[in-house]
């Protein structure tokens, strides 16, 4: 394959809608850790391509989706002819995600508070697009927090859904009421699509908070010291037909959110974003 010359898809696309096509094989070049069953789920639709135009289009969609679900860092699809009549072989030249991503960030706010964060993560941990990320933040005041999150995508042809879980722990001093606060939280979530343009998200939040009053705390603060558990459920349904998520030139994004908290706390919200092309007249 190294000695062959390949041309851009624009040379053929929309010009070969009647050319019959039979996909004989799909090959990946550069695979180390990605599991075979994950790859099969992502490219099975290519074998249903009946024309060359359809094969070019589906190969582009497959390459894009492999990156978006986190299986690959970069993907280049190459379509080659096969010895048989109307036969083609689809090659994907891929680069898998890095073994480990590490980062350090330091910052200072306008009121003089400084903090430092350590971040680490791994993409496609078990070879099926799973992502693990963690962060630790420490401030000059002595506050610190830790976060660990895990995301697993649902693999398949053009499927955009995932499940996630996050653990959070924060210990901080609250100067306004002279107390120490410790928070431990668990967040479970699901993101998916009901239909092509209809999005759905649901989250379950659980928080365990401990408030410890210091010797300088007022009595009104002391009476609220101790442990408390809070639970909440967030559900959101959205409609999105924008041409792109950032600076859209056309389309509509609408989101309806429902929040149910402990003690029968209910909150609803709606938001709409409309994009359109402006016409300038001289």
Q: Which domains does the chain have, with CATH numbers?
A: 9-95 (3.10.20.310), 101-276 (2.40.160.50)
Q: What contacts 165, CB < 8 A, 6 or more positions away?
A: 149, 150, 186, 187, 188, 189
pLDDT for residue 184 = 96
Residue with more model confidence, 218 or 67: 67
β-sheet bridge partners, residue 119: 103, 135
* Out of 32-41, 59-68, 148-157, 209-218, least confident range: 209-218
pLDDT 10s digits, 196-248: 889 899 999 999 999 888 888 787 778 778 888 889 999 999 888 887 777 77
Structure confidence at residue 140 as a pLDDT band (50, 70, 90)? confident
pLDDT for residue 6 = 77
Q: What contacts 124, CB < 8 A, 6 or more positions away?
A: 33, 34, 70, 71, 96, 97, 130, 131
Neighbours of 265 (CB within 10 A): 10
Closest listed residue to residue 96, CA positions, set 36, 41, 29 = 29
Structure tokens at 4: 């062959």
Closest listed residue to residue 174, CA positions, set 211, 208, 144 = 211
pLDDT for residue 266 = 63
Closest listed residue to residue 168, CA positions, set 188, 148, 189 = 148
Q: Give the HSE-up count for residue 138: Cα atoms under 13 Å, Cβ half-sphere.
A: 4
Q: Helix 52-68 to helix 36-43 angle, to the nearest 10 degrees?
A: 130
pLDDT 10s digits, 156-201: 998 999 999 999 999 988 888 888 899 999 999 999 988 888 989 9
pLDDT for residue 282 = 47
Phi, psi of 233 (to 5 degrees): -130, 130
Mean pLDDT of 88-102: 92
3-state per-residue secondary structure call for 66-134: HHHCCCCCEEEEEEEECCCCCEEEEEEEEECCCCCEEEEEEEECCCCCEEEEEEEEEECCCCCCCEEEE
Residue 51 has pLDDT above 70, yes or no: yes
């Amino acid at each position: 394959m190294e000695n062959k010359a390949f041309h851009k898809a624009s040379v053929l696309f929309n010009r070969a809608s009647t050319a019959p096509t039979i996909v004989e094989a799909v090959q990946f070049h550069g695979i180390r850790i990605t599991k075979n069953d994950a790859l099969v789920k992502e490219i099975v639709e290519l074998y249903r391509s009946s024309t060359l135009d359809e094969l070019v289009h589906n190969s582009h969609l497959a390459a894009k989706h492999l990156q978006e679900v986190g299986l690959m860092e970069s993907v280049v699809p190459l379509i080659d002819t096969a010895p048989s009549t109307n036969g083609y072989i689809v090659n994907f030249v891929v680069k898998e995600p890095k073994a480990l991503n590490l980062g350090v960030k330091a910052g200072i706010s306008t009121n003089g508070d400084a903090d430092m964060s350590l971040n680490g993560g791994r993409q496609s941990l078990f070879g099926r697009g799973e992502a693990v990320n963690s962060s630790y933040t420490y401030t000059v005041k002595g506050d610190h927090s830790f976060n660990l999150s895990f995301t697993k995508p649902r693999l398949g042809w053009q499927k955009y859904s995932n499940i996630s879980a996050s653990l959070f722990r924060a210990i901080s001093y609250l100067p306004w009421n002279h107390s120490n606060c410790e928070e431990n939280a668990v967040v479970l979530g699901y993101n998916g699509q009901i239909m092509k343009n209809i999005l759905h998200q649901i989250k379950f939040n659980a928080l365990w908070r401990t408030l410890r009053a210091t010797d300088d705390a007022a009595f009104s603060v002391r009476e609220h010291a101790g442990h408390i558990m809070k639970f909440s459920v967030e559900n959101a349904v959205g409609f999105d037909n924008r041409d792109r998520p950032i600076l859209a030139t056309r389309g509509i994004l609408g989101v309806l959110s429902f929040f149910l908290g402990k003690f029968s706390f209910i909150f609803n919200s709606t938001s709409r974003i409309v994009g359109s092309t402006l016409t300038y007249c001289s």
